[in-house]
Amino acid sequence: MIKIAPSILSSDFSILAEEVASVKNADLLHVDIMDGHFVPNITIGPPVVRCLRPRTGLPMDVHLMIERPENYIRQFADAGADILTIHVEATTHLNRALNMVAESGVKVGVALNPATPLCFIEDVLDLVDMILIMTVNPGFGGQEFIKSSLDRIARARAMVERSGRNIDIEVDGGIANDTAPLVVKAGANVLVAGQAIFGADSPSKAVEDLRRALGPLGQEAVGVPRVRA
């Protein structure tokens, strides 16, 4: 089953609770945290995540685009995150940081920017529940999907299959009705979409449209090797 994760980055922050309530039919709520250092943009912090917690029944998928994420793991976990994803490029001590996420009682995600070699996560696969393959350079919504990501997704899926672990592969950036089937075919099973959902007149309809765009692929079981070993 493919999971859809609307990114609130493209929502109207002045009516955030309403925006979040409009995507009840999604599977996860993707929350982008930016610090103005790791990426050239600033968004929100733990207080807003805490306020959102009672406003959504969806698991909160918190994507930390911040330097030294280890300094904030506890705060975001306490604020109500269900998944905390940290970037390989943002910490010198990835193993320690991922262990800290696990110890805080939430699911563990690890993210890679488009130019970061996949081998950077090879030795931490035993620690993670989800790999986030960035399909744009992080920092902004509404950017164009980077096509070479498809090969990276396929290689990440092969890596996961070899590990024998049940690890989700999430994609983030430029996901819409045209790119969604491509990333799923390549091996992704969690699709983040900001502009395609919150930029639409009806976000809930946009979630359904995205599912429909996947056709039978949307029902595919996770963990089946699709492209190459």
Rule CB under 6 A: which residues touch ligand DX5?
7, 9-10, 30, 32, 63, 136, 138-139, 141-143, 172-175, 192-196
The H-or-E segment that residue 1 falls in is: none
Closest to Zn ion by CB, 70 vs 170, is: 170
DSSP notation for 14-79: GGHHHHHHTTTTSS-EEEEEEBSSSSS-B---HHHHHHHGGG-SSPEEEEEE-SSGGGTHHHHHHH
Partner interacting with residue 131 (select from ligand DX5, Zn ion, none; CB below 5-8 Å by kind): none
Residues 82 and 223: their CA atoms lie apart, in Å, by 22
Partner interacting with residue 142 (select from Zn ion, ligand DX5, none; CB below 5-8 Å by kind): ligand DX5
Partner interacting with residue 195 (select from ligand DX5, Zn ion, none; CB below 5-8 Å by kind): ligand DX5
**Which residues lie closer than 8 Å to 218 by C-beta, 6 or more apart?**
1, 2, 184, 211, 212
- Least spacing, CB of residue 198 vs Zn ion, in Å: 13
- Least spacing, CB of residue 34 vs ligand DX5, in Å: 7
Alpha-carbon separation of residue 150 from 1, 54, 104, 205, 212 (angstroms): 19, 36, 32, 26, 20
Is there a catalytic annotation at residue 126?
no
With contacts defined by CB under 5 A, name the span among 51-59, 168-176, 180-188, 213-221 that binds Zn ion. Answer: 168-176
- Least spacing, CB of residue 135 vs ligand DX5, in Å: 8
Is there a catalytic annotation at residue 172?
yes
Strand partners, 35: 42
172 binds Zn ion (CB under 5 A): yes
- Least spacing, CB of residue 25 vs Zn ion, in Å: 20
Binding residues for Zn ion, how many (CB under 5 A)?
A: 3
35 binds Zn ion (CB under 5 A): no
Q: Which of 164, 93, 92 is nearest to 125 (CA)?
A: 164
- What residues act catalytically? 32, 172
